[in-house]
Amino acid sequence: MGGPGSGQWYRWKGTRTTLEGVNRLDVRWLHRHGYLDGCPHWVTWSCGERRVGGVMLALQAEGMVLTYRYRVHGRDWESVRQVITLDWTPCHYGGERPWFRCAGCRRRVAVLCSAGKWFLCRHCYELPYGSQQETEEARLLRKVRTLRARLGASMNLLEPIWTKPTGMHWRTFDRLLQEVFSHRRLRVSQPDVEVTTSSPRTVLAELHARGYRRAWLVGGGQLAGAFRAQGLITEYIVTVIPIILGTGIPLFGAVGPTEPLQLVASQVYPNGLVQLHYRRAPEA
């Protein structure tokens, strides 16, 4: 039979699982074709001539009841019974239209997918549309990991980036670091990582409100410059290394206000390093 999974409904794009690549139930299709009449119906999915799945479906008092078989790759088949809640909303031109209530997130959706044991919405299974090829999150995570690899940092996003790889120019290092830090739309699934689009001042205020008193900024001159531009740096410890490198790189990438400084201390090291400790001068 033709089913909600027949023809172009079922198709693989590359090796990634997309919304189009899994068996789906569309409540509008079921409603339009009389599947929600209270009688049991057999719904199948096919890929060309080959049947790739099927469920028994019946609308009952408790909801839409699905019975089907499921198995994890390499394990035995198990019988599954899933009850899906239906919501009915009025249509513009009279009558009512049905919605699935996703058992995973309680969203009201028209389509449920079978990408695991249960029929859940595409958000729960994190299924991208085939046309997207890759979710935005996955794309950005991949990009960050590529940059971290270039910086010689580990693939663990929780670990800071410590050192510049030998042979890489500081400017390149700084720029790559900026890229890692500036993926503003990145959403991360790891609970310990937060990505913010807020300004440095807001971030500090939030950290302060949460009881943090110190934050270690791991980044280059531009990142520090962003904090300086908002007047958030009160003390500077500048170390002068006795090497002339030719073209210089600005200490703080971004332009910022002119700041008079007061020398607090200075220390000379036997190897020629001079460390200068400044505090921002009080405003006149």
Evaluate whether 177 touches 220 at the Cβ level (below 8 Å). yes
Minimum distance, C-beta of residue 21 to Zn ion, in the bound complex (Å): 18
The minimum distance between CB 125 and Zn ion, in angstroms, equals 8
Give the residue among 77, 33, 31, 25 at the shortest CA–CA distance from 56. Answer: 25
Decide: helix, strand or coil at residue 3.
Answer: coil
> Sheet holding 119-120: strands in order across?
23-26, 111-114, 119-120
Q: How far is the CB of 103 from Zn ion (least distance, A)?
A: 7
261-268 β-sheet, strand order: 235-240, 274-280, 261-268
d(CA 64, CA 36): 8
State the binding string over 74-103 for Zn ion (x if CB under 5 A, else -). ----------------------------x-
d(CA 71, CA 203): 47
- 26 contacts 110 by C-beta, under 8 angstroms: yes
- Choices 42-50, 115-123, 204-212, 268-276; region in contact with Zn ion by CB under 5 A: 115-123
| Residue with smaller CB distance to Zn ion, 64 or 102 | 102
CB of 193 to Zn ion, least distance (A): 23
Given 55, 84, 121, 151, the residue binding Zn ion (CB under 5 A):
121
Applying CB under 5 A, what is the total number of residues that bind Zn ion?
A: 7
* Nearest distance, CB of residue 101 and Zn ion, angstroms: 9
- Among 104, 130, 152, 256, the residue binding Zn ion under the rule CB under 5 A is 104
Place of tokens 């090796």: 15
DSSP string, 251-262: SSSS------EE
Residue pair 34/19 in contact (Cβ under 8 Å)? The answer is: no
Q: Which span (120-128, 154-162, 172-180, 275-283) binds Zn ion, by CB under 5 A?
A: 120-128
Contact assessment for residue 121 and residue 113, using Cβ atoms and an 8 Å cutoff: yes
Tell me which of 124, 176, 177, 229 binds Zn ion, using CB under 5 A.
124
Residue from the set 39, 56, 83, 105 that interacts with Zn ion by CB under 5 A: 105
Q: Of 120 and 224, which CB lies nearer to Zn ion in the complex structure? A: 120
Type of residue found at 35? Y
In the complex, the smallest distance separating the C-beta of residue 19 from Zn ion, rounded to whole angstroms, is 13
Query: Which residues in this chain contact Zn ion in the complex, by CB under 5 A?
Result: 102, 104-105, 120-121, 123-124
